[in-house]
Structure 1
Amino acid sequence: MSNLLELSDVSTPCCAPLSDSALSEAEAADLAKVFKALSDPVRLRLLNMIASAEGGEACVCDLTGPFELTAPTISHHLKVLRQAGVIEGERRGTWVYYRTIPEALTRLSGLFALPSAVPA
């Protein structure tokens, strides 16, 4: 008995693919920027706070309290998330209100979603 796999064994996938299609080089570069922005724990928490806020948006005044960081540091983190395209802000008087961009979050979640129809 040989320890080598037969050719037919190699062509049979062991599990379903994680995505419907492979990423292009440009898509991978764009998504890498988003993942880089989300790789910081403060930014990840900020995104979570905004996404889970009542009414779907959070005032910057509510985002500074939970952190032991200065307001300018929080503003920097929010700027990085805006530049990555996962949140947007709207100024209302003195305050800025932030909300997630649903299409961006859907794109991230779809990256590793199982295809809807997996052949048997």
Structure 2
Amino acid sequence: MAEHRIFSTSFASVYPHYVAKAERKGRTRAEVDEIICWLTGYDPLQLDAVIAAGTDFRGFFTAAPAMNGARDQIRGVVCGVRVETVDDPLMREIRYLDKLIDELAKGKAMDSILRTATA
């Protein structure tokens, strides 16, 4: 399946696209990093190391120190796919990250993106 080719794609090759998407909309690299760290449990130094190592998406998510339990609150459509219905666990994690970056680029507040906003 074509979507599974992304598993062997290096996270480092996609990361600049996340940053560029956010920056085009007036957001920052620091906000992208905050989202990634929130989702995966990496700290900023660990994130830099994973990027420098050229780790693929499978390794990136497999080695994540602490996937955030609140990520199951991430709902919606990204790239025409409803993220909460993705069957493959790794692809779902990738889509969660894509959705969070989309929310950032659309101007959502960080507390909403990080699912810390109170109702």
TM-score by shorter chain over 0.5:
no
Structure whose residues are more often strand by fraction: 1
TM-score by length of 1: 0.26
